[in-house]
Amino acid sequence: MDHEERTLRRKKLITYPGVFDRNTNQLLGRVLDITTEGVRIINKEPIKADQSFNLRMTLPSSILGNDEITFDACSVWSDRDINPDYYSTGFNVTEIADRDVRRIESLVREFSFRN
């Protein structure tokens, strides 16, 4: 899915939560923008498209009293960021619990730029 196919507009955050692979506990990157359907992260290495991931995202402590959410996602694209030392990678959320959808909605409400 490319950005023209998105049904929700991603929101840029004023905080940069970490996104980790739940299987390896490796930090994959930091969130640049997010919706309940997808996330774009910034990272040091490119991530191949069409890979499935079990992810964990850290949250600011004020989000519904929980410090992380978990979801499954598929990498859609990866390209050089504006800063050439980094890559931006887009993910499509493939599975997420309802409670974690609500946490993302809270994250966007409380920590997104008003645009």
Residues 64-106: tens digit of each pLDDT: 566 889 999 999 999 999 999 999 999 999 999 999 999 888 8
Q: Range of 44's domain?
A: 3-111
Give the chain's domain count.
1
Cβ–Cβ < 8 Å for 94, 86: no
Phi, psi of 102 (to 5 degrees): -65, -35
Q: Do β-strands 38-43 and 27-34 pair in parallel, antiparallel, or remain unpaired?
A: antiparallel
**Beta-sheet strands, E only, within the chain:** 11-12, 18-21, 27-34, 38-43, 52-58, 68-80, 87-96
pLDDT band with cut points at 50, 70 and 90 for residue 4: very low
Task: Give the C-alpha separation, 110 to 63, whole Å.
Answer: 8
Question: How does pLDDT run across 15-55, given as a tens digit for each residue?
Answer: 678 999 999 999 999 998 888 999 999 999 999 999 999 99
**What global pTM score does this model have?**
0.82
CATH number reported for the structural domain that contains residue 38 in this entry:
2.40.10.220
**Reduced DSSP (H G I as helix, E B as strand, rest coil) percent helix, strand, coil of the chain, to 5:** 15, 45, 40
Enumerate the β-bridge partners of residue 82.
none
> How close are the terminal C-alpha atoms of the chain, in Å?
24
